[in-house]
Amino acid sequence: MKKNLLKNNGVQSLLASLACVVLGLLIGYIVLLFINPHGAGEAIAAVMKNFLNYSKSATQAKYLGNTLVKTAPLLLCALSILFSYKVGLFNIGAAGQYCAGVALSLYAALAWGWGWLPCMLLAMLGGMVLGAISGLLKSYCNVNEVISGIMLNWIVLYLTNMLLTTVKEDTSPYTFVLAHKNPSAVLPTLGLGSLFNGNQYVGLALPLSILAAVLVWVVLEKTRFGYELRATGNNKNAAKYCGMAEKRNIILTLVISGALAGMGAAMLYLTGYEQWQCSTSSVPGMGFNGIAAAFLGGLNPFGTILASFFIQHITAGGAYVDKTMYCAQISDLISSIIIYLCGFVLFMKYAMNAAISRREEKAALKEKERSETPPADANTEKGGDQ
Amino acid sequence: MVLLLQYTLTFASVLILVALGGCFSEHSGVINLGLEGVMIMGALGGALAMRYMPSGSSHFAMLMVVLLAAALMGLIYSSLLAVACINFKADQTIVGTALNMLGLAGATVIVKAINTAANPDDVSSTIQYAGAKKAFLVNIGSFEFSWFMLVTLILLIVSYVLLYKTRFGLRLMACGEHPQAANSVGISVYKMRWAGVLISGVLGGLGGIVFITAGVSEWRFEYGVAGFGFLSLAVMIFGQWKPTRIALAALLFGMFRALSNVYAGFEFLKAMNIPSPVYNMMPYIISLVVLAFTSKKSRAPKAEGIPYDKGQR
Closest chain A residue to B102, measured at CA: A336
Q: Which residues pair with A265 in a beta bridge?
A: none
Nearest to B102 among A137, A148, A336 (CB): A336
Contact A68, A203 (CB under 8 A): no
Q: What is the chain B residue with the closest CA to A90?
A: B93
Give the model confidence (pLDDT) of A210-257 as tens digits.
999 999 999 999 999 999 888 888 887 888 888 888 889 999 999 999
Contact yes or no for B291 and A148 at CB 8 A: yes
Query: pLDDT digits over B45-70, tens only?
Result: 999 998 888 877 788 888 899 999 99
* DSSP-derived 3-state class of residue B146: strand
The overall average pLDDT reported for chain A is 86
Chain A neighbors of B112, CB-CB under 8 A: 327, 329
User: If chain A, 386 residues long, is cut into consecutive pieces of 10 residues, what is the mean pLDDT of each piece?
Assistant: 67 88 90 84 83 82 88 95 91 93 93 91 95 93 87 93 88 84 84 79 89 94 90 83 86 95 94 86 86 88 92 87 81 88 85 86 88 58 45
Judged by average pLDDT, the poorest of A83-92, B242-251, B293-302 is B293-302
**Distance in Å, alpha carbon of B240 to nearest chain A alpha carbon:** 13
pLDDT at B278: 86
B224 phi/psi in degrees, rounded to 5: 65, -150
| Contact at CB, A339 and B97, closer than 8 angstroms | yes
Q: Testing the interface with A: which of B83, B92, B100, B291 to mutate, by most A Cβ within 10 A?
A: B291
Dist. CA B37–CA A148, nearest whole Å: 18
pTM for this model (two decimals): 0.87
* Alpha-carbon separation of residue B83 from A91, A341, B80, B189 (angstroms): 24, 12, 5, 13
Mean pLDDT in residue range B73-94: 91
**Across A185-199, A311-325, B12-26, B105-119, which has the greatest mean pLDDT?**
B12-26
Q: A327 vs B288: CB contact, 8 Å cut-off?
A: no
Contact state of B99 with A340 under an 8 Å Cβ cutoff: yes
Nearest CA in chain A to B37: A336
Residue A386 confidence (pLDDT): 42
C-alpha–C-alpha distance, residues B246 and B249, integer Å: 5
Under an 8 A CB cutoff, do A147 and B237 touch? Answer: yes
B299 touches chain A (CB under 8 A): no
Chain B positions touching A295 (Cβ under 8 A) are: 94
A371 by Cβ neighbours in 10 Å (0-12 / 13-18 / 19+) ranks as exposed
Is the ipTM, as predicted for this complex, more than 0.90? no
pLDDT tens-digit series, residues A293-344: 998 888 899 999 999 999 999 888 888 887 777 888 888 888 899 889 988 8
Give Dmax (Cα) for chain A: 95
Average pLDDT for residues B224-229, to the nearest whole number?
85
Residue of A136, A291, A339 to mutate when probing chain B, most B C-beta within 10 A: A339
Q: Which member of B123, B227, B296 has the closest CB to residue A154?
A: B227
pLDDT at A381: 47
Measuring CA to CA, how many Å separate A362 from each of A97, A373, A379, B218?
A: 52, 18, 19, 63
Q: Which residue of A has its CA nearest to B232?
A: A147
Q: Over 70: is that where the pLDDT of B180 sits? A: yes
Partners of A168 in beta bridges: A175
What is the average pLDDT value for chain B, to the nearest integer?
88
CB-CB neighbors (< 8 A) of A36 in chain B: 113, 117
Q: By C-alpha distance, which of B124, B10, B8, B132 is closest to B69?
A: B132
**CB interface of B with A, residues 211-250, below 8 Å:** 222-224, 226-227, 230-231, 233-234, 237
Mean local confidence (pLDDT), B111-121 = 84
Distances B246 to B13, B14, B156, B299 between C-alpha atoms, Å: 11, 12, 9, 13
Find which of B115-119, B154-158, B292-296 is predicted with most confidence, using mean pLDDT.
Answer: B154-158
Question: Testing the interface with B: which of A33, A154, A235, A338 to mutate, by most B Cβ within 10 A?
Answer: A154
Per cent of chain B over pLDDT 90 is: 42
**What digits encode the pLDDT tens for the residues B253-270?**
899 888 887 877 777 777
Nearest CA in chain B to A161: B277
The tens digit of pLDDT for each residue in A31-42 reads 888 888 887 888
Cα dihedral A67, A69, A73, A79 sign = positive
* Residue of chain B with shortest Cα separation from A152: B284
B286 with B256: CB under 8 angstroms? yes
Highest mean pLDDT among B142-151, B154-163, B212-221: B154-163
Q: Which residues of B touch A159 (CB under 8 A)?
A: 277, 281
* Phi, psi dihedral angles at A277 (to 5 degrees): -95, 115
